[in-house]
Structure 1
Amino acid sequence: MREVITLPDGRAAQYWDNGLDGPAVVFFHGCPDTRHAAMTGAPAAAALGVRLVAVNRPGYGLSTRHASTQSSVADDTVRVADLLGIDRFAALGMSVGTAYALVCAARHPDRVRALGLAAGPDGRRQERGTVEEVVARFRPELEEWVARVRPDDPDDHALSDRFLADLPPADATLLRATRTPAEVAASVREALADHDGYLRDAALTFRPWDAGLDDVRCPVRTWPDDRERHFSILLAGWPEILAALR
């Protein structure tokens, strides 16, 4: 199956699609993360007959780097849905991805039939300055972390272990039980191939969002964050989440 689609303006969007013929759920990944996070939901989606799709935002993996906003990502997502032959869909955001899913639902009420928000930020942290200024402030810390994780390491096991060591223990345990070291390593390499994706995500998330819940017309379901098991909200919750959004 193709994993890169060309948007109308010529940019590339890397995606994953389980290809099922059923109600669609489009997943907005966290940060730093990729379409690989949606792959953890493949068994639950298959059991429920859900078409599960995820698109890497600009600056992640093979998706073209772009001066993106939450609104532009929402519009790009709808364009990908068009190219994949998807009309209406539920938007599901995880962590930082909740902002993008929410804005997509607000901007495209004719396309988004339900909204799911899993482990989203509480919105209390706000950064001063322009997106570019926030990106510049965040860059040294990101580069220090990337140097420690070493995503260019060809040893899948070593890379997976370094990445999982930074996660809450419950999340790391569940990821080890559900994903192989090669799968974890592939996701990390894709997420950190270009630092621009992470940095724009962080800058946009901690500034005013392009829309709020009051702008969303469709039904909304939330699964609140738990810092002791951040990723596990999604990893352990796929059957419940997809059933609710189906």
Structure 2
Amino acid sequence: MLRHATDGRVLECWVGGDPDGPLVAVLHGCPDTRHVAMTGDAAARAAGVRLLCVNRPGYGRSTAHASTHGSVADDLAGVASELGHERLAVLGMSVGGAYAVATAARHPDRVTALGLVATQPPGARSEAVEELVAEFAPEFLHWRAGVDPADPSDDALAARWLTMLPPEDAYLVAALGPAEVAASVREALAGPEGYLRDAALLHRPWEHGPAEVNCAVRAWFGELDDRSGADAAADLFAGLGDVEVVVRPRTTHLATLVAHWPDVLTTLRDLMAG
């Protein structure tokens, strides 16, 4: 599904779950796309919530531009309004956590609950985003060439991708089938702009901090996640009035969300209802 921002940019979206339920908007990780939200479709239907995920600029068919945490938050709020939802919960996965925080901070009258899964803390680099993009580009392009997202073979592309994931995450992703895995990889890596913009913003301080969030916050981390540990993110939650943090035992990065959709969605649904 394609939507348009107020300035005419294309925003590629996916909407699933219960069409009559309250809205949970997912902010995907990096490199990732709306495809991660699709893995929660059945759980969303069972929980009675509607799921939305918008590809950030430069991913899939979403127009690349000089996006920020704030601009992504405002794009998401606009799509939610078009879908008829003035109130929503936001759920940030990994790098998407910073964008989810920005959405809650910029739209406090609309965001009723904030979920953070395997969220990485803010960075400390002070260079301009464009400088960081130029710095990170050569290594990323070399890595992307090894993935070869243009490979027409779904089986070969999916197999290469799965070898890059921890075994628990690979098992969950492989269950989707080669065609779905390959489609997700192609959408995430067809162009470099989405990844590089995310990477640059990840290494800088956030545009909006958790102290600006007024709604209830629930966070989930995986004990075996070597990318987004709960200890590293502990400072994110200082000063929040209503926050609960869960560390899932023996759980890796992607599995922290994909293997636990029912719990995450029912938790956010109940917070919205309260």
Q: Structures share a fold, TM > 0.5?
A: yes
1:145, 1:89 → 2: CA distance?
37
How far apart in 1 are the matches of 2:4 and 2:168?
Answer: 38
Q: Does 1:22 align with 2:45?
A: no
| Matches of 2:257 and 2:159, distance apart in 1 | 20
Counterpart of 2:240 in structure 1 is none
**Counterpart Cα distance in 1 of 2:5 and 2:102:** 19
d(CA) in 1 for partners of 2:152 and 2:85? 37
Aligned to 2:67: 68
Q: Tell me, in whole angstroms, the C-alpha distance in 2 between the residues paired with 1:195 and 1:147.
A: 11
Partners of 2:125 and 2:167 in 1: how far apart? 29
**Normalising to structure 1: TM-score of the pair?**
0.96
Partner of 2:46: 47
Q: What is aligned with 2:152?
A: 154
Offset at residue 127 of structure 1 (A): 2.8
Residue 208 (structure 1) aligned to one of 205, 217, 222: 205
Q: What TM-score does the superposition give when structure 2 sets the normalisation length?
A: 0.86
Partner of 2:258: 235
**Correspondence for 2:4:** 6
Aligned residue runs from structure 1 range 167-246, under 5 A: 167-177=165-175, 179-225=176-222, 226-227=225-226, 229-246=252-269
The CA distance in 1 between the partners of 2:172 and 2:141, in whole Å, is 27
Alpha-carbon distance, 1:209 to partner:
0.1
1:122 deviates by: 3.3
Output the amino acid matched with 2:90.
Answer: A
Q: How many residues of Structure 1 are paired with residues of Structure 2 in the alignment?
A: 242
Deviation at 1:83, TM superposition (A): 1.3
In structure 2, how many angstroms separate the alpha carbons of the residues matched to 1:5 and 1:171? 31
3-state SS, counterpart of residue 98 of structure 2: helix
C-alpha distance in 2 between matches for 1:80 and 1:34: 16
SS of alignment partner, residue 156 of structure 2? helix
Q: Secondary structure at the match of 1:170?
A: helix
Who is 2:164 aligned against?
166
How far is the alpha carbon of 1:128 from its aligned partner?
Answer: 4.0
Matching residue of 2:137: 139
Equivalent-residue separation in structure 2 for 1:81 and 1:10 (angstroms):
16
Letter in 1 for 2:92: G
Q: Which amino acid counterpart does residue 167 of structure 2 have in structure 1? A: P
Q: Which amino acid aligns with 2:129?
A: V
Q: Contact 2:73–2:102 at 8 Å: present in 1 too?
A: yes
Q: Is the 8 A contact 1:74 1:107 kept in 2?
A: yes
Does the CA contact (< 8 Å) of 1:128 and 1:134 recur in 2? no
Structure 1 contact 118–224 (Cα < 8 Å) conserved: yes
- State whether residues 23 and 51 of structure 1, in contact with CA within 8 Å, keep that contact through their aligned partners in structure 2: yes
Unaligned runs of 5+ in 1: none
Cα RMSD, aligned residues only: 1.1
Contact residue 105 and residue 216 of structure 1 kept, 8 A: yes
Which structure's relative contact order is higher, taking Cα pairs within 8 Å and 6+ residues apart?
1
Partners of 1:35 and 1:7 lie apart in 2 by: 17
Which residue pairs with 2:230 in the alignment?
none
CA distance in 2, matches of 1:161, 1:86: 39
Larger CA deviation: 205-214 vs 30-39: 205-214
